[in-house]
Structure 1
Amino acid sequence: MITWQLKPFIELTTIQLYQLLKLRVDVFVVEQQCPYPELDDKDHKKGVYHLLGYDGDQLVACTRLLPKGVSYPSVSMGRVAISADHRGGGIGHQLLAEALRNCQSLWPNESIEIGAQEYLTSFYTQHGFVKTSETYLEDDIPHIDMKLAK
C-alpha cells in the first residue's frame, strides 16, 4: 500500500529531499545512463509541489507538479519516477492518477502539458493525454510533448 504526500519544497524535510533527489538520480542518471542537470531550479519555485509515494518509510515514487509558466504555458508534471524494485505492479498508474487528482485540486479545470519519454506514450495516452509534437531528443533520449486538455 502506497502512502501519498503532497508538499511544496519548503515543507520537505532534509530526509525527504535526500530521498527525492536520490530516487530521481537513480532512475534518470544512473539507470538511464543520462548525465543531465537534475538540479534545474524548478523544484523550489513558487507554486511547485512534490508528490511523494511511500512504501513504509521508503520513497518509491515521485513527481513534481508545476503551475503554469514554469515549464510550459499550461500546468505541467515532470520528473516522474518509480524505483526499479517497485515497477510492474501498477504504481505508475497510481502515481499518475494521484498527480492528476492533485493538479485538479490545485489548479481546477486547467490543461496539463508534459514532455514524456517517447516509450511511455501509450502509458500517458491511457490517462487521456494526446501527442502535441513530433519526437525530439532531450538529453539524448527521445521525448514527445503531450497534453491533457480540460
Structure 2
Amino acid sequence: MIKWVTKTFEELTTQELYALLRLRSEIFVVEQKCAFQDMDNADQLAVHIMGYDDELDNELVAYTRIFGPGIKFDMCSIGRVVTAASVRGNGSGRKLMEYSIAVVEDRFGKVPIKIGAQLYLQKFYSSLGFEQSSEMYLEDDIPHIEMIREVAK
C-alpha cells in the first residue's frame, strides 16, 4: 500500500528532499544512463508528490513534481515522474499519475495539464487522457513528446 504525501518545497524535510533527489538520480541518471542537471532550480517552485510503500519500510517509491501555469509551460504541468524498480508492474505508476492529476485539480481547478513524456510511455499517458501535442524531440538523447490532458467535458 502506498501512502501519498504532498508538500511544497518549503515544507519538505531534509530527509524527504534527500530521498526524492536520490530516487530521481537512481532512475534518471543511473538506470537510464543519462548525465543531466536534475537540480534545475525549479524544485523550489513545485509541489512535490511522494509515495511511500508501507510494505518496504516506508521507502520512497514514487514521485512527481507539479507546477502551476507559467512555470514550466503555459499551463499546469506534471514532471519528474518516477517509480522505483521495486514497484514497477503493479499499477504504482498509474496510481501516481492519478493522484498527481487529482492534486493539480485540487490546487488549480479542472485545467489542462501538459507533460514532456518519454516517447515509449505514450500509450500509458494516453490511457490517462493525455494526447500528443508535439513532434518527437530528443531530451538528453531520449526521445520525448509533449502531451496535453484537456479538461474533461
Q: SS where residue 44 of structure 2 aligns?
A: coil
TM-score (norm 2): 0.95
Q: SS where residue 44 of structure 1 aligns?
A: helix
| Aligned twin of 1:63 | 64
CA displacement at 1:32 relative to structure 2: 0.1
| Aligned twin of 1:148 | 149
CA displacement at 1:96 relative to structure 2: 0.4
CA displacement at 1:146 relative to structure 2: 0.1
| Aligned twin of 1:17 | 17
CA displacement at 1:62 relative to structure 2: 0.2
Q: Which blocks of at least 5 consecutive residues in structure 2 are unaligned?
A: none
Aligned-residue sequence identity (percent) comes to 45
> How far, CA to CA, are the matches of 1:70 and 1:84 in structure 2?
29
| Aligned twin of 1:26 | 26
Q: Which blocks of at least 5 consecutive residues in structure 1 are unaligned?
A: none
| Aligned twin of 2:42 | 42
> How far, CA to CA, are the matches of 1:11 and 1:22 in structure 2?
18
CA displacement at 1:41 relative to structure 2: 0.6
Runs of 4+, deviation exceeding 2 Å: none
| Aligned twin of 2:120 | 119
1:53-85: CA deviation from partner (whole Å, max 9, x where unpaired): 001220000000001111100000000000011
CA displacement at 1:110 relative to structure 2: 1.2
> How far, CA to CA, are the matches of 1:133 and 1:126 in structure 2?
18
| Aligned twin of 1:106 | 107
Q: SS where residue 18 of structure 2 aligns?
A: helix
Q: Kindly tell me the number of residue pairs found equivalent between the two proteins.
A: 148
CA displacement at 1:10 relative to structure 2: 0.5
TM-score (norm 1): 0.97
- The one-letter code of the counterpart of 1:54 is Y
Q: SS where residue 72 of structure 1 aligns?
A: coil
> How far, CA to CA, are the matches of 2:43 and 2:94 in structure 1?
23
- Taking the TM superposition and a 5 Å limit, the aligned residue runs for 1:87-102 are 87-102=88-103
- The one-letter code of the counterpart of 2:136 is T
